[in-house]
Amino acid sequence: MEIISAIIAHEALIKRIINVQAYCPEHNYYCYLYNTEHADKNYLFKFSEDEGILARHDEKAKEWYIFVGILAREENRISYLLQFLDYIFTHGAKKVFVEFDTAFRKLVLKTFKINPVYRAVRINYTLTWPVFDMQQWDGVGMQGKDWKDMRYYWNKYFRDYKVEFKTAAECDKEEMKKVVLEWTKQRTTGDETHNEYFLKAVDGEFMGFDHTRIMVVNNKIVAITAGFKMPNKNYYYSSIGLYTREFDRTGEVANMDDLLFLKKQGYDFVDFGGGEKTLTEFKKKFKPSYYYKTHVFSIVKK
């Protein structure tokens, strides 16, 4: 195992590992960079030329965070996780936070039961991820009674307001940041929000993203959607979906536009990102094909 802290200098190596091993929608080099918290330091734990763990370390709190999943072949993931745990807990770690899907979390719990060196603490929160099979999704044209409400919102919105869609390159950064901050203020439901990720994406000019859609209503930016394709798979992750509430139903219109745009791009699947209860209920309006879950929890040494 090799531990690498020069993340920028090893961009090509990290991208190669991601390109070979990616299986989660967030497996993207820039998604990793933008997700770094202010106090954290990034690390790559390299196990082979194309396998590793992307991690963050808060030295003051003595806490670690594994970024999404283990970037390795399925048969190696548990072994690499244990090697990672052995290292950090012999170097002063108090706990490590992880986000694993349901199946891998169960495997981790089973492993800890057999070899009880480590303990998984109860789940902090669970995220539900809606996925659209774009070959089956019937939102184009919003036909039929199932789309009655959405069709009404859509038609009324374009009738009442002057609506434009631009790329991020065509828009002012500070104006886009205002949307991020407004989005945060209106989130009073307890759903997790990650301001730094969104703000860094704006500052980084959405480097690493394949598409950005900036919705402008009456000459004012009111919504941002952006995302990227997974390597080696025609699967798109709509990583950012933010909107203000100045105009009624902006959220519905911005997200429908995102799906209609992505349908035209020819993606097989579109992942609308993880959220807790309130956000999931909102995303149900767009009729996902199926859902999966990831669980955020911590691991400690017994």
Task: Write down the pLDDT at residue 193.
Answer: 54
**How high is the pLDDT of residue 177?**
96
Q: Domain 2-120 classified CATH 3.40.5?
A: no
- Sequence-distant (6+) residues with CB within 8 A of 279 are 189, 191
CATH of domain 129-291: 3.40.630.30
Per-domain boundaries in the chain? 2-120, 129-291
Closest by CA position to 27, among listed 18, 35, 36: 18
Supply the pLDDT for residue 194: 65
Per-residue pLDDT at 195 = 83
Residue-wise pLDDT for 59-87, tens only, equals 999 999 999 999 999 999 999 999 999 99
Q: What is the pLDDT of residues 100-158, one digit of tens each?
A: 999 999 999 999 999 899 999 999 999 999 999 999 999 999 999 999 999 999 999 99
pLDDT block averages, 10 residues each, the chain of length 302 = 96 97 96 86 97 96 95 98 98 97 98 95 96 97 95 97 97 96 74 76 96 97 98 96 95 98 98 93 97 98 94
Choose among 148, 118, 47: nearest CA to 297: 118
Token pair of 132 as six digits: 């659209």
- Contact assessment for residue 18 and residue 3, using Cβ atoms and an 8 Å cutoff: no
Domains 2-120 and 129-291 share a fold: yes
Distance CA 243, CA 259 (A): 15
